[in-house]
Chain A
Amino acid sequence: MSTSLLIVQTLNGLQLGVLLFLISAGLTLVFGVMDFINLAHGVQYMLGAYLAVMFYALTGSFLAALVLGLLAALAFGLLLEFAVFRHLYDRDHLEQVIATFGVILFLNQGVKFVWGASPLSLPIPEIFSGSVVLMPGLLYPIWRLVIIGSGLLVALGLYFLVGNTRVGMLVRAGATNAAMVSALGVNIRRLFMIVFGFGTMLAAFAGIMIAPILSVEPGMGDTILILAFVVIVIGGIGSIRGAFVAALLIGLVDTLGRSFAVDILRLFMSPSPARTVGPAIASMLIYLLMAVVLYIRPTGLFPAKGQS
């Protein structure tokens, strides 16, 4: 009983971690390469989910919704980059925070205006619905396994892309020292656009994959955005490897903390205060983890910026 719960919750934690990685990967690259704080990254995740719901209603096929949703999210992201973000790259962080906060306000309200305030849902594709037996008496939804699998696949792809291709090399160089890369004759603006478009698509992909098990509603990007920031700060800004490690760490700590905090506290506390304190500690755990990591390593676990 307890072991099967542990396995299920570990898988759930892994699934949250993979989701966080998909969102954080784009965020950390945009942040690392362009030195640009994009609070609007969370609404791009939300937008991906909404677009997929819309295209599903039009086509009736999840695959078509996925592809069209990704393309539309990419187009919208590039439009945003062209209309707003491009003017902010050389501003200070404070101004970036405010302008992208404005984008959040607009888009959160915008989806409410277009699709209404009530939550929408996206069905799980037929072949992946239902559960699979992991162990005797232990069922686990297939779709969650699909999320974990596709997330790990994307991580692998990114690892190859960043580590072994020319664009990846430029991205790594940009995260270390963007001015130098530009001075060496690389069109840094174009690199920015590629990185930004890619990050947008990853966030939208995360939104589309999670849509069948979460409700699609305005503001769904806000909480995940804060978690993604925790991830990239713990991992070290600009580092894909750091984002991957930190995302899995946060996903596991958060999920396991929430399911076992009360039980653990009851080992050295009477049951009734444990039930009160447990959930509070569980929801604080990842922020506590972040504070401890930053106290020990003020620039995260795998800092990308070259220290001179």
Chain B
Amino acid sequence: MTPASGAGRRFAVSDLVALAIFVIFALVPFAAKLGPEAYVLTLVTRVMIFAIAAVSLDLIVGYGALVSFGHAAFIGLGAYVAGILASHGIGDALVALPVAIIVSTLFALATGVVCLRTKGVYFIMITLAFSQMAFFTASSLSPYGGDDGLTIHARDTFAGFAWMKGDGALYYVVLGFLLLTFLLCRALIASRFGRVLRGARQNSTRMAALGFEVFRYQLVAYAISGALAGVSGFLLANATNFVSPAYMSWQRSGELIIMVVLGGLGTLYGAIIGAAAFIIAEEWLAGFTEHWKMIFGPLLILVVVFARGGLIGLMSLIAGPRRD
């Protein structure tokens, strides 16, 4: 697959797919009225929140080849900012959201400086190490519930206005954030910044020879990705009215990677599809049997072994022969 050939057309197709995804998301609440409305809205809201985190992960994994195995830490940070501020009576998004973004950005910058010195497998492991540190810090925050987590009594307001009151309102707020995240990442990738990032993925030595300080670009990308995941954590805390260290567990980071790879790396919209497929499959299988993981595990293996390029690759495999 050469990136240059047919690039213009591919962008058009990917934009159409993304548009279709967002139209479907926008219409879900209307369709939900026909069925178990609250259940569907809660489930799809969850899908969209994890889609935000997955898109942010795709920004660095898909376009920068920086495989972060600790991305759940940022979700947890954003969630804990919302929870801790709320427990002190600060329940307004005008304060909580910027703080969540700043905290996760600072965490990304501080850890990124160390992580980006390493490459490949070592990068995977050191991001894991930092997220484990965040996990254990959260577990020992005894004033804020420690291992048991922290309950939030009301969703954040926005300048005093209850913008997330009710499942429907929350749904569209989350959808708005997902759209913003997608558009931001798409613009970043198309920009000069994104081209440097993609260039560094393919050959960082050459990019350095061209005069780019690759490290700085990667660090900024890592920070942006962390901040967006922090936003998803902020939303998750508000959606569930609960924060717990489990949000930062390494299994959760693994699930995020699975979402991104399942959907197809380096497409952004693929991350959204992956998040939806993962969470809905989990929910659906759990409805059959309490041992659903015995089905889900082998399913993951089958997808990896037989469908290279994730679900998108699977779809194009079914649709017709690939043109490589």
Residues of A whose CB lies within 8 Å of any CB of B are 31, 37, 39, 84, 87-88, 91, 93-95, 97-99, 101-110, 112-113, 222, 226, 229-230, 233, 237, 276-277, 279-280, 283-284, 287-288, 290-291, 294-295, 298-300
Q: In the bound complex, how far is the Cα of B292 from the Cα of A167, in angstroms? A: 42
Given contacts A88-B304, A113-B294, A284-B133, contact A291 B126 (CB under 8 A): yes
Q: Is the CB of A229 within 8 A of B125?
A: yes
Q: Is the CB of B67 within 8 A of A226?
A: no
What are the residues of chain B within 8 A of A284 when measuring CB–CB?
Answer: 132-133, 136-137
Q: Is the CB of A287 within 8 A of B132?
A: yes
Q: Is the CB of A102 within 8 A of B261?
A: no
Residues of B whose CB lies within 8 Å of any CB of A are 61, 67, 69, 114, 117-122, 124-126, 128-130, 132-133, 136-137, 139-140, 142, 250-251, 254, 257-258, 261-262, 265, 291-294, 296-301, 303-305
Which of B133, B292, B300 interacts with A287 by CB under 8 Å?
B133
Q: In the bound complex, how far is the Cα of B176 from the Cα of A98, in angstroms? A: 30
Whose C-beta in chain A lies nearest to the C-beta of B124? A93
Tell me if B's interface is mostly helix, strand, loop or mixed. helix
Whose C-beta in chain A lies nearest to the C-beta of B292? A109
Q: How far is the CB of B252 from chain A (nearest CB, A)?
A: 12
Whose C-beta in chain A lies nearest to the C-beta of B120? A93
Which of B119, B265, B291, B305 interacts with A109 by CB under 8 Å?
B291
Q: How far is the CB of A291 from chain B (nearest CB, A)?
A: 6
Q: In the bound complex, how far is the Cα of B298 from the Cα of A103, in angstroms? A: 7
Q: Can you report 6 residue pairs joining A to B where beta carbons are below 8 Å apart? A: A88-B304, A94-B67, A98-B304, A226-B128, A229-B128, A290-B129
Q: How far is the CB of B111 from chain A (nearest CB, A)?
A: 8
Q: In the bound complex, how far is the Cα of B251 from the Cα of A127, in angstroms? A: 40
Q: In the bound complex, how far is the Cα of B297 from the Cα of A39, in angstroms? A: 13
Q: Is the CB of B140 within 8 A of A283?
A: yes
Q: How far is the CB of A294 from chain B (nearest CB, A)?
A: 5
Q: How far is the CB of A305 from chain B (nearest CB, A)?
A: 10
What are the residues of chain B within 8 A of A99 when measuring CB–CB?
Answer: 300-301, 304-305
Q: Is the CB of B305 within 8 A of A88?
A: yes
What are the residues of chain B within 8 A of A113 when measuring CB–CB?
Answer: 291, 294
Q: How far is the CB of B185 from chain A (nearest CB, A)?
A: 19
Of listed B118, B124, B262, B304, residue having the most chain A CB within 10 A: B304
Q: Is the CB of A294 within 8 A of B117?
A: yes
Whose C-beta in chain A lies nearest to the C-beta of B140? A280
Q: How far is the CB of B72 from chain A (nearest CB, A)?
A: 13
What are the residues of chain A within 8 A of B137 when measuring CB–CB?
Answer: 280, 284
What are the residues of chain B within 8 A of A91 when measuring CB–CB?
Answer: 304
Q: Is the CB of B136 within 8 A of A280?
A: yes
Q: In the bound complex, how far is the Cα of B304 from the Cα of A233, in angstroms? A: 25
Q: Is the CB of B251 within 8 A of A103?
A: no
Q: Is the CB of B139 within 8 A of A283?
A: yes
Q: In the bound complex, how far is the Cα of B139 from the Cα of A37, in angstroms? A: 28
Given contacts A103-B301, A110-B294, A294-B126, contact A37 B121 (CB under 8 A): yes
Q: Is the CB of B304 within 8 A of A95?
A: yes
Q: Is the CB of A233 within 8 A of B298?
A: no
Given contacts A93-B120, A287-B133, contact A105 B297 (CB under 8 A): yes
Q: Is the CB of B298 within 8 A of A294?
A: no
Q: In the bound complex, how far is the Cα of B140 from the Cα of A110, in angstroms? A: 32
Which of B114, B140, B254, B265 interacts with A101 by CB under 8 Å?
B254
Given contacts A233-B125, A287-B130, 16 further A-B contacts (CB under 8 A): A88-B304, A93-B67, A98-B300, A101-B258, A105-B300, A226-B250, A229-B128, A277-B140, A280-B136, A284-B133, A291-B126, A291-B129, A294-B118, A294-B122, A295-B114, A298-B122
Of listed A31, A84, A98, A300, residue having the most chain B CB within 10 A: A98
Whose C-beta in chain A lies nearest to the C-beta of B69? A97
Whose C-beta in chain A lies nearest to the C-beta of B258? A98
Q: In the bound complex, how far is the Cα of B42 from the Cα of A95, in angstroms? A: 30
Q: Is the CB of A101 within 8 A of B300?
A: yes
Whose C-beta in chain B lies nearest to the C-beta of A39? B254
Q: In the bound complex, how far is the Cα of B299 from the Cα of A171, in angstroms? A: 33
What are the residues of chain B within 8 A of A95 when measuring CB–CB?
Answer: 261, 304
Q: In the bound complex, how far is the Cα of B125 from the Cα of A31, in angstroms? A: 13
What are the residues of chain B within 8 A of A279 when measuring CB–CB?
Answer: 140
Given contacts A105-B296, A109-B297, A291-B114, contact A94 B122 (CB under 8 A): no
Q: Is the CB of A109 within 8 A of B294?
A: yes
Q: In the bound complex, how far is the Cα of B303 from the Cα of A105, in angstroms? A: 15
Q: Is the CB of B299 within 8 A of A298?
A: no
Q: How far is the CB of B265 from chain A (nearest CB, A)?
A: 8
Whose C-beta in chain B lies nearest to the C-beta of A117? B290
Q: Is the CB of B122 within 8 A of A299?
A: yes
Whose C-beta in chain A lies nearest to the C-beta of B111? A291
What are the residues of chain B within 8 A of A109 when measuring CB–CB?
Answer: 291-294, 297
